Amino acid sequence: MKMYVLNTWYVAGWSTDVTRKPVRRIICEQPIVLFRTQDNQAVALADRCAHRAFPLSEGRTIGDSIECGYHGFTYGADGACTRVPAQSSIPERARVRKYPVVEKDGWIWVWTGDADLADPADVPDTHWMVDPEWATVTHSYHFQCRADLIHDNLLDLTHESFLHKTTVGDDYIYEHGITVEVDGNVVSVDRLMPSVEAPPLYAETMDARGLFDRFHCTEFFVPNLHVLHSGITGEGRPREEGFLIKVLNGITPIDEHNSWYYYAFSRNFAVDNAQATEELRIGLATVLDEDAAALEAQEVGMRTRPEGEHDVLIAQDGGVAKARRILASLLRKEQQAAAAAVPSREPAASRRA
């Protein structure tokens, strides 16, 4: 069975996805129903009625509660059953799991692990999505591939040279090396490409002709979010002076072979230019379509790969290797904690012996 890092915040959707009408999401194989209370608070509960496992997302909200569409069990925002229509008493076990939720900068984040460990302060910074100094284009995708492939894809941007030739790619990308740094659970992969042309997709919007220093810095907050700080600046000039782009990639596992991909592309140039926004929206959809097609083909490759055949990592995979190590260590820690929390099944007498 696939193991997931659960003690983390995953993007469960856009703020606009969650309304009074219940909506279902599967995150790390856990079905979750999301809805809003009357005062607009987002709520996340297990999407499985305690009575007979019917999805609550098929029901309706009544006040701050959700009513199961099968036999009418009703649950409050805390997951406790408050009404069983067919009888006056409410069974003690009639309760569904409540998930911690944070709504921030247009995203709804859900904590899938031990609720006692959930700290809203751990949700990474994504303020560019709502900052008026920046303009943002968004997309949502269901990628039919494991989340690991999306992480690898974002940590090794040499694929732009080949997969995204017509939009953001150029041979000069793979010709430049990377600097990899690790800070806690964050892996950064930085690539500076001095004295090059702007990428075709942005050159016109930036009105950038001639040579510039281009840069990419992917920050992977393992295991849920990649923030790509990229852009171009004058040759030899500080990055902050340039045309800056922040690409936020919220990656949420659905199951072993499927992932949600929540994407926001924020720019600090041509901010009020609606035509540029539309052109970028279309161009970036092309980039994401190219990624989806490649990763889905790669998923097939992974599933049919003989046991014992492994990836051949190269120097450009330095960030990939570091991130895999962090992911493995987070998984190991969660499994150890879970194993320690399971009470022994041995009878007390034999434990004493």
Indicate the residue among 72 and 124 with the shorter CB distance to ligand FES. 72
Indicate the residue among 70 and 174 with the shorter CB distance to ligand FES. 70
Tally of residues, the chain: 353
Stretch of 119-127, 130-138, 192-200, 286-294 lying at the interface with Fe ion (CB under 5 A): 286-294
3-state helix/strand/coil string of 43-108: EEEECCCCCCCCCHHHCEEECCEEECCCCCCEECCCCEEEECCCCCCCCCCCECCEECEEEECCEE
Indicate the residue among 63 and 234 with the shorter CB distance to ligand FES. 63
* By CB under 5 A, residue 291 contacts Fe ion: yes
Q: What angle do CA 75, 80, 85 make, to 5 degrees?
A: 50
**Site map (CB under 5 A) of Fe ion, residues 174-213, x = contact:** ----------------------------------------
Q: Which does 291 bind (CB under 5 to 8 A by kind): ligand FES, Fe ion, none?
A: Fe ion
- Total residues contacting Fe ion by CB under 5 A comes to 1
CB of 68 to ligand FES, least distance (A): 3
Q: Among 98, 45, 50, which Cα is nearest to 73's?
A: 50
Indicate the residue among 75 and 212 with the shorter CB distance to ligand FES. 75
CA distance 31 to 55: 8
CB of 53 to ligand FES, least distance (A): 6
CA distance 16 to 243: 29
CB of 148 to ligand FES, least distance (A): 35
The CA-based dihedral angle spanning residues 39, 129, 107, 254, taken in that order and rounded to the nearest 10 degrees: 170
| Interacting residue ranges for ligand FES, rule: CB under 6 A | 49, 51-52, 54, 68, 70-73
Stretch of 186-194, 203-211, 227-235, 285-293 lying at the interface with Fe ion (CB under 5 A): 285-293
Stretch of 112-120, 227-235, 243-251, 289-297 lying at the interface with Fe ion (CB under 5 A): 289-297
CA distance 81 to 95: 5
**Site map (CB under 5 A) of Fe ion, residues 158-177, x = contact:** --------------------
Indicate the residue among 89 and 275 with the shorter CB distance to ligand FES. 89
Sheet holding 101-104, edge to edge: 9-14, 107-111, 101-104
Stretch of 90-98, 187-195, 255-263, 284-292 lying at the interface with Fe ion (CB under 5 A): 284-292
CA distance 54 to 245: 44
219 touches 229 (CB < 8 A): yes
Indicate the residue among 95 and 229 with the shorter CB distance to ligand FES. 95
CA distance 140 to 166: 22
25 forms bridges with which residues in the sheet? 32
**Residues contributing to the site for Fe ion (CB under 5 A):** 291
